[in-house]
């Protein structure tokens, strides 16, 4: 039985699966054109505002073929069926490892590297060279810009803000600032009032601020050591009380202040007590 011959116009009007099937039977190569939709459809998940990402392109006309949900929801759903949080964890589990970190380190050692971090850096450098970028940093910027465009964002800043908002929401925070503070080396301990209302500095603080306004509040290291992030060494003071306490106790003369200048505080996992005692 001889298959019917279809014209390119007829093939372009077919669904993507049928068009691919009949085009291959007729020996028609896939188009190199990929249409970039400036306004991709939103995820059908009512709790998600992400745009859908193409899982394929039409064989003939190059129009995008979308899943009903975004890539993030698709991966989360698939991982959830295995009782896990990510696709990468599913792969690690199927390979017989207890954690993704163990699996990544195993793959790295097989390739002759000390650990997964060293392996990833090497792979980035190879890809950067192959793509014509001067180094891995420039290549990473390029990839991030591509992902932002594919996700429907005009610039990387909006894309990063979107990712931060997603992470904050998933972690149960009302805003990005509180989420980032929760991962900070010591801002996680910042309250929404000055603790000198109990007179611990020799007078009672009367500073009042609107609800939720924390920018006038600081996390103070009680013993003056800027690297001692133990919970019992942290207190919340308004900027006036913080300045007074620093002058009174000579905090700026304590060891480590010069070392602190120009460095960025590292993030922590507040569920891991060991990470609270970071020494730079």
Rounded mean pLDDT, 88-110: 93
> 0.75 exceeded by the pTM?
no
pLDDT tens digit sequence for 190-201 = 888 999 999 999
86-90, 135-139, 174-178: the lowest-pLDDT one:
174-178
Model pLDDT, residue 165: 92
Rounded mean pLDDT, 207-217: 76
Model pLDDT, residue 280: 28
CA–CA dist 59, 172 (Å, integer): 42
Model pLDDT, residue 141: 92
Which region holds residue 57: left if phi is over 0, alpha if psi is between -120 and 50, else beta? beta
Rounded mean pLDDT, 63-83: 91
Which region holds residue 93: left if phi is over 0, alpha if psi is between -120 and 50, else beta? alpha
Model pLDDT, residue 260: 53
> Looking up tokens 């003939």, which residue turns up?
60
Percent of the chain with pLDDT over 90: 59
Looking at per-residue confidence, does 165 or 265 come out higher?
165
Rounded mean pLDDT, 169-198: 87
Q: SS3 string of the chain? A: CCCCCCCHHHHHHCCHHHHHHHHHHCCCCCCCCCCCCCCCCECCCCCCCCECCEEEECCCCCCEEECCCCHHHHHHHHHHCCCCCCHHHHHHHHCCCCCHHHHHHHHHHHCCCCCHHHHHHHHHHHHHHHHCCCCHHHHHHHHHHHHHHHCCCCCHHHHHHHHHHHHHHHCCCCCHHHHHHHHECCHHHCCCCCHHHHCCCCCCCCCCCCCCCCCCEEEEECCCCCCCCCHHHEEEEEHHHHHHHHHHHCHHHCCCHHHHCCCCCCECCCCCHHHHCCCC
Assigned token pair, 150: 């594919």
Query: Residue 212's pLDDT band (boundaries 50, 70, 90)?
Result: low
């Amino acid at each position: 039985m001889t298959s019917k011959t279809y014209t390119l116009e007829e093939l372009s009007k077919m669904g993507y699966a049928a068009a691919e099937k009949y085009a291959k039977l007729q020996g028609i190569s896939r188009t190199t054109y990929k249409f970039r939709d400036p306004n991709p459809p939103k995820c059908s998940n009512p709790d998600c505002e992400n745009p859908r990402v193409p899982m394929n392109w039409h064989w003939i006309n190059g129009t995008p073929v979308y899943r009903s949900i975004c890539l993030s929801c698709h991966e989360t759903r698939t991982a959830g069926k295995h009782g896990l949080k990510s696709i990468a964890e599913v792969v690690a589990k199927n390979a017989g490892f207890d954690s993704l970190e163990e699996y990544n380190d195993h793959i790295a050692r097989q390739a002759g590297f000390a650990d997964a971090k060293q392996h990833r850096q090497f792979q980035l450098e190879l890809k950067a060279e192959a793509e014509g970028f001067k180094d891995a940093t420039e290549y990473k910027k390029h990839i991030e810009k591509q992902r932002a465009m594919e996700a429907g964002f005009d610039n990387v800043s909006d894309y990063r803000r979107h990712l931060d908002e997603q992470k904050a929401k998933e972690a149960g925070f009302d805003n990005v600032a509180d989420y980032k503070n929760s991962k900070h080396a010591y801002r996680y301990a910042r309250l929404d009032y000055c603790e000198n209302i109990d007179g611990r500095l020799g007078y009672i603080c009367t500073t009042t601020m609107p609800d939720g306004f924390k920018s006038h509040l600081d996390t103070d290291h009680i013993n003056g050591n800027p690297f001692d992030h133990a919970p019992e060494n942290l207190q919340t003071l308004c900027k006036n009380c913080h300045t007074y306490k620093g002058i009174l106790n000579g905090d700026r003369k304590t060891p480590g202040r010069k070392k602190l200048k120009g460095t960025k505080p590292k993030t922590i996992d507040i569920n891991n007590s060991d990470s609270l005692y970071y020494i730079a």
